[in-house]
Amino acid sequence: MTQGWIVSLIFSLILTSSCSTPKIAPISESTSPEVELPKEIQTQFAVKEVKDMPPPRAPTPTPTATSAAVPTSKTSKKSSKKKASAAETRTVTQIAEAAPAFQYPLRRKDPVPFWVGEKQSIEVTFFGMAAGEFELETMPLKQVNGRKVFHFEGRAKSSSVFALVYRLNDKIESFMDYDGIFSHRFHMLLDQTRQRRDSLELFDHEKKQVYYWNRKNHVEKGYSEIKEYKEISPFTQDSFSAYFYARTLPLEPGASYIIPVSSEGKSWEMQLTVVRREMIDTPLGKKQAVVVRPQTRFQGVLKQDKGESYIWLSDDDRRFILRFEAQVKIGTVVGSLKKVTLGEPPSTAQNADQKPENNSR
């Protein structure tokens, strides 16, 4: 989930990093996933503007005609000597319906909590020191695989002081189905002190598989590359879209929600448990928050993490991240909402060409 991404980006390697780390060669753009993908996959998962989207086509079964000779018999009145007349045949045409077309779920509940143009800026601290900042932004609607999609971006950057210990400048993107609220495409670019990564995940829900391509330059391990297809549960989330899906849940007191996730070629489940509700201080003033605890389940078994993590979401129809805490090997990583831009309401955001409203708080 988003919290796990934050921790991995900022702190997973901090304890083994140093200022004297040598430079890592950048990953060549000439061999980017977009260039080397098979043509049919390039076309299927290309990101396009909504205005270029073809009109939806209703699936219509294609009938096939099959003919069969059905014998009929008649008795001749003129010839009583014959026991039976010659057999006659007539043709019967049977219409066989085609197999039902693949059906996408309709899980969107209006109004959706994420608005085009919304932006959350969160300050991350470690032992009271400003470690970095990350932003979550909802971009204009796009289309992928002939489907309208939400476009989410996340950017993380270390502070100037913390960069002396460990530098990062990372970006992730997720494209979530507008009606079904599941992931079609995930792209991650990491530029850090000890590694550079370019990771792409393409979700084919009809075939129940994900195409995973990860390229990495590591300061000690060198260059490595993975290309593989993996099976997935239908309508699963990526590690970033899981947060946006969670924002659509009712988050009832004491409830636990299971979210299927696929990341880095592995399928697992996020168990999100509602812990409590409480008032907290935020840049938006005092806000009622719902506190949730994300945990990982693999093959139905709850994974025992080394440290607990909690996320405070605004207890309203937007579910902004107000705060998070994640225990690491030493200390606790804390993130606090610094600024939020509300974006434009869904009633006006349907036009992808319309510029988002800059109503910051």
Residue 88 lies in a domain: no
What pLDDT is recorded for position 62? 44
In a 13 Å sphere around the CA of 139, the CA atoms on its Cβ side amount to: 19
Residue 33 lies in a domain: yes
Residue 76 lies in a domain: no
Least confident of 99-113, 225-239, 271-285: 99-113
Residue 358 lies in a domain: no
Measured CA to CA, the distance from residue 277 to residue 308 in angstroms comes to: 18
What pLDDT is recorded for position 49? 94
Q: Which residue has the higher pLDDT, 313 or 54?
A: 313
Measured CA to CA, the distance from residue 106 to residue 321 in angstroms comes to: 26
Total domain count, the chain:
1
- Do strands 222-231 and 256-263 pair parallel, antiparallel, or not at all (unpaired)? unpaired
What pLDDT is recorded for position 360? 62
Neighbours of 331 (CB within 10 A): 13
What pLDDT is recorded for position 245? 97
Q: Using alpha carbons only, how large is the chain's radius of gyration in Å? A: 28
Name the amino acid, one letter, at 314: S
Helix and strand element counts for the chain (H, E): 5, 18
Task: Categorize the per-residue pLDDT at 299 as very low, low, confident or very high, splitting at 50, 70 and 90.
Answer: low
Task: Categorize the per-residue pLDDT at 1 as very low, low, confident or very high, splitting at 50, 70 and 90.
Answer: very low
Residue 260 lies in a domain: yes
Residue 194's domain comprises 2-51+103-343
Strand partners for 173: 153, 187
Residue 75 lies in a domain: no
Task: Categorize the per-residue pLDDT at 63 as very low, low, confident or very high, splitting at 50, 70 and 90.
Answer: very low
- Do strands 119-126 and 285-298 pair parallel, antiparallel, or not at all (unpaired)? unpaired
Backbone angles phi, psi at 126, to 5 degrees: -140, 120
Residue 66 lies in a domain: no
What pLDDT is recorded for position 94? 55
Residue 94 lies in a domain: no
Average pLDDT of every residue of the chain: 81
Residue 10: which of 165, 138, 136 has the closest Cα? 165
Task: Categorize the per-residue pLDDT at 261 as very low, low, confident or very high, splitting at 50, 70 and 90.
Answer: very high
